[in-house]
Amino acid sequence: MTAIQSDAYGKTRVRLTYVDRDREPHQVRELSIGILFEGDFSAAYTHGDNSRILPTDTMKNTVYVLARQLSWDSAEVFAQGIAKHFLDRLQDLLKVTVDIEEIPWQHIPGQNAAFLQSGNERRTAKLRASRSAFEASSGLKDLQILKTSDSGFSGFLRDEYTTLAETDDRLFGTVLQAQWRYLGDNISFNEAHRQIRRVLLESFARHASLSVQHTLFAMGQAVLEQVGDVSNIHLVMPNKHCLLVDLARFGIDNPNRVFVPTDEPSGYIEARIVR
């Protein structure tokens, strides 16, 4: 006999640009929002009974209504408002997950109502909530960073297929992804995000790196030491290689000046650092 073990449904990539005109200077928030419902919805799968199914189009419309009606200044607070709205209304809904990616907009210097967007960096927030509890995390992704000194890699294991040369002077490039959880729920999310991002970047820049792993741990450790509200942090740091170009065949030296950036393949390094 067949049966459903688990099921979920929802709406993904609900796009929203919100302009907060009550602030001076104005604030622009551009979000991509995903909503996932878990609950007693199996009859829709087994019998085509949609009587407990809220259309995903309604989820989309609700996002826009709540964006206008709620008082919110961060993706985390908005996610909490979305989750509460659905949990309060739908008796068959047991859990709701709200995933938000925010595209940062910055003011053009000296301008209150003109903005620019640079790079691929995204701010992230995730909330998984039931009527009795919730679990929230914040983060960032696709933040491209590079250092040109204080980075080496040596003393590693070798076998008959190892060709990589040891070095104490290499480029260290990565596309940072970070996700962290807080100790409490009375958090100033915007300020916490700014502080954690600053600590991550400062630690990356200042650390004398013996490997990607070495620097990843130092960055996570710095966040936990300097931001008391964070309980743990998960970091993903692929090693985006820049290969030194051999110019000797042209009779030209290349003292770590000319490189070829490569996207694939790349090393993959991750860890969760806890208190």
SS3 content of the chain, % helix, strand, coil (to 5): 25, 35, 40
| Catalytic residue, candidates 193, 207, 240, 241 | 241
| Catalytic residue, candidates 12, 46, 56, 148 | 56
| 167 DSSP β-pair partners | 153
d(C-alpha 184, C-alpha 227), whole Å: 12
What would be the CATH architecture of the domain defined by 143-274?
Roll (3.10)
Q: Identify whether 56 is a catalytic site residue.
A: yes
The answer to whether 20 and 29 have CB atoms below 8 angstroms apart is yes
What does pTM read for this prediction? Answer: 0.92
User: Per residue in 196-212, pLDDT tens?
Assistant: 999 999 999 999 999 99
Where are the CATH 3.10.270.10 domain residues in the chain? 9-132, 143-274
d(C-alpha 11, C-alpha 57), whole Å: 8
Query: In the CATH scheme, what is the code of domain 9-132?
Result: 3.10.270.10
Q: Identify whether 234 is a catalytic site residue.
A: no
User: Per residue in 121-168, pLDDT tens?
Assistant: 999 999 999 999 999 999 999 999 999 999 999 999 999 999 999 999
Q: Identify whether 126 is a catalytic site residue.
A: no
| Catalytic residue, candidates 11, 126, 193, 240 | 11
What value does the mean pLDDT take over residues 70-75? 95
What value does the mean pLDDT take over residues 5-19? 96
d(C-alpha 103, C-alpha 13), whole Å: 13
